[in-house]
Amino acid sequence: MFYETIANKHGLKHDPFKALVAPRPIGWISTVSKAGICNIAPYSFFNAVGEKPHYVIFSSAGRKDSLLNIEETGEFVCSLATWDLRFNMNMTSASVPRGIDEFPIGELTAAPCRLVKPPRVKESPAALECKHWKTVELPPLEPGGESRNSVVFGQVVGIHIDDRFVKDGMVDTGAMRPIARLGYMEYSVVTPETMFAIDRPSVEEAMAKLKLKAAE
């Protein structure tokens, strides 16, 4: 099947886009308002987009509390959402009014950060402390319409890792069991059983393939 996304007549029960761009890492974003009230919510339009310097992005569909707090204070933290914290994470996605701290709703402990004011999730094995760089408003669906999606860029200025997950100088990602978002209400989880490694090919190996094809 093929369909054009502006008309979006896919004929399926739901828009399949997010079931195809999957799995998406979850940025569990904590912020603090100018008034000092904490906020935490999951965002799966989230990813790392550069290193040295390190940058992450997340996208807010509408002007949600996380975005508003970041505009006010210029800082946010991304804690790693894991299998053990899946229900806690989900609880923090409830659309409660601005000014309500979701840490107690998610039964989470707010731990202090080093370089930024918003707290990280103490129970999470890793967290990224971020300083807001810029927000990009994505173009609206219709020309002249209102932008729906705001992409927030943050520079990662500090990283917390629970030392129990560092083995032989490497982070044991599988042991952390990070969860990721698929389409619909589905998630996936990274475990040692589902991980695999592949070495990158050398230029010689890649060119040898071309020579083989040419010789055919």
Ligand X SMILES: Cc1cc2nc3c(=O)[nH]c(=O)nc-3n(C[C@H](O)[C@H](O)[C@H](O)COP(=O)(O)O)c2cc1C
Binding residues vs ligand X (CB under 6 A): 26, 39, 41-45, 59-61, 64-66, 90, 93, 95, 181
Minimum gap (Å) between residue 52 Cβ and ligand X = 26
Minimum gap (Å) between residue 23 Cβ and ligand X = 11
Nearer residue to ligand X within complex by CB, 49 or 61? 61
Minimum gap (Å) between residue 60 Cβ and ligand X = 5
Nearer residue to ligand X within complex by CB, 60 or 156? 60
Cα gap 38→99, rounded to integer Å = 8
Residue nearest to ligand X (CB): 41
Nearer residue to ligand X within complex by CB, 146 or 206? 146
Three-class SS of 77-130: EEEECEHHHHHHHHHCCCCCCCCCCHHHHCCCCEECCCCCCCCEECCCCEEEEE
Minimum gap (Å) between residue 108 Cβ and ligand X = 14
Nearer residue to ligand X within complex by CB, 91 or 111? 91
Contacts 24+ apart (CB under 8 A), 86-92: 86/179, 86/187, 88/123, 89/26, 89/28, 89/42, 89/179, 90/42, 92/28, 92/40, 92/41, 92/42
